[in-house]
Amino acid sequence: MARLDILTANDRDGEYPSSWYAATALSLDPFPAAEGEIACDVAVIGGGYTGLSAALHLAEAGLDVVVLEAHRVGFGASGRNGGQLHPGQRLDQDALEDMAGETLARALWDLAEESVALTIGLARKHAPEAAFVPGLIHADHRARFVEHSHAYAEKLQRRYGYDKIRPLERDALRAKVGSGAYFGGTIDMGGGHLHPLNYALGLARAARDAGARIYERSRVDWVSETDPVRLGTGSARITARHLIWAAGGYLGDLDRRIAAQVMPINNFIVATEPLGALADKLIPGREAVADSKFVVNYFRLSADGRMLFGGGESYGYRFPRDIAAKARKPMAEIFPELAEARIDHAWGGTLAITRSRMPHFEWLAPNMITASGYSGQGVGMATLGGKLAAEAVTGTAGRFDLMAAVPTPRFPGGVALRWPLLVLAMVWFGLRDRL
C-alpha cells in the first residue's frame, strides 16, 4: 500500500487552505521555484516560523541563505494555527523542574520569555498586519483544576518574578468569557494573539529584503549528508555549507531520525460570520482563550468580530469531510449562542508534537541541525528556534545546545507505530476530558 503523503493528503499543491487567514492575508508576490545549480552558505528546509526566522537572522548576519518551501511560505502550521502566543514552555515550570532540575528549568523559562518578546518585536517591526493583541486566558473546565492554576500563578510571581499573570475566580472569568463552561483560571497579559499567516508572510518579506533567497513549490526530495551538504528538488540541486531542517508536521519521512522524534497530528479551526454585538458578550476584552482539556479548545475574536474557534479530535492523518461540524460541536458546548451561527471558513492543519511535548532540537551532523516539534507552542518558540538555529550555524551554539539538552524521547516503534499510538492516545485523552 502506498505511503500517505502528508504534504498532499489534505491540500492542493501550492495553495493555501480556505482559511480566514488566507482570505485576509497581506499581499506578497509568490516566490519562484528553485531551478538549476544553487550554492549557498545555509540551506533551510521549510518556510514556516522556524525557517523564516532562521533565514532572517542569518541574512542580517551577512550569510547567503536559501529557504526551500514545498508549497508556499506559511503553508503549514505557521499559517493555520490559532494565533496564540503563550508565555512559558509547552510544559509548565513544575514539570520542567521535575524533568531537568531548577537551574535548567529557569534557563528554559528565560528562553521562553525571550521567545515572546522576540515574536512581538518582529511582528510589530516586520508584520504590522499581524496585529498583535495582548491578553491570554487559561480557563479550567473542572473545578478541581482551579486551585492548581491559582497556585501556579502565585509560583510564577514569587519564584520567577513574573507579574503579568493573575488568578481568576469563576465569576471573574465569567465576566471575561461569556460561558458557563468554566470554573476559574488565570489571565496572562504577557501573552496574546495575532494573525499567524500575516506574521509568517511578514517574516518572509523581511528575510527577502535582508537578502535571503526564498523558493516556493520547491519540495526537497533527497538530502546527502556530506560536507558540503547536497540536496535536491525536482528542478534544482543545492550545495550548502550548513543545513537547517525546519519542516515541522509536514516533514514526512524525508529524514527518519527526525520523523521518529516527532508525530504529525491534525487540528481544526472555524471562523464564524461576524457576530456584531454578540462578540462583546462572549469575549469583551478581546483576549485569546485556551482551556484545560488535553484535547484543548482555543478561541478568540478576529479583528472583524468573528469567533475563531479551534478544537475537535482527529484519529487519522486525513482531514474529516465536514471540518465545520468537527469544530462546531465543542464551540456550541462552550457558547450555545453559536450553535446556529454561520460558518464562513473551516480548515485543518498538521502540527508536530513530541513525546515530552518539548521541542526537538538536535545536531544531526556537524553541519546539519533540526528544530521542530513545538507541540502547539510554536508561535513564539518556533520564532526563537529559528534564531537559535542561526546562532548555532554561525558558531554560537550554547543556547541551541541548551534546548537540545531537553529530553525528547523517540516514539516507541519509531515511524512505523506513530499513527497507531496517535489513535490510542487521542481516544484515551478525549475520554479523560469528558470524565
The pLDDT score that the predictor gives to residue 423 is: 62
- Tell me the one-letter amino acid at 196: P
Confidence band of 14 (pLDDT split at 50, 70, 90): confident
pLDDT at 221: 97
Mean pLDDT value across residues 21-26:
98
Which stretch of 131-135, 153-157, 302-306, 322-326 has the lowest confidence by average pLDDT?
A: 322-326
Residue 418: pLDDT band by 50, 70, 90 thresholds?
low
pLDDT attached to residue 139: 99
pLDDT at position 2 is 47
Specify the pLDDT at position 297. Answer: 97
Q: What is the mean pLDDT of the chain?
A: 93
pTM, 2 dp: 0.95
- Choice between 430 and 368, residue whose per-residue pLDDT is larger: 368
SS (H, E, C) the chain: CCCCCHHHHCCCCCCCCCCHHHHCCCCCCCCCCCCEEEEEEEEEECCCHHHHHHHHHHHHCCCCEEEECCCCCCCCHHHCCCCEECCCCCCCHHHHHHHHCHHHHHHHHHHHHHHHHHHHHHHHHHCHHHCCEEEEEEECCCHHHHHHHHHHHHHHHHHCCCCCEEEECHHHHHHHCCCCCCCCEEEEEEEEECCHHHHHHHHHHHHHHHCCEEECCCCCCEEECCCCEEEECCCEEEEEEEEEECCHHHCCCCCHHHHCCEEEEEEEEEEECCCCCHHHHHCCCCCEEEECCCCCCEEEECCCCCEEEECCCCCCCCCCCCHHHHHHHHHHHHCHHHCCCCEEEEEEEEEEEECCCCCEEEEEECCEEEEECCCCCHHHHHHHHHHHHHHHHCCCCHHHHHHHCCCCCCCCCHHHHHHHHHHHHHHHHHHHHHC
Rounded to an integer, the average pLDDT of 167-185 is 98
Of residues 434 and 31, which shows the higher confidence score?
Answer: 31
pLDDT digits (tens, 9 = 90+) for 125-167: 999 999 999 999 999 999 999 999 999 999 999 999 999 999 9
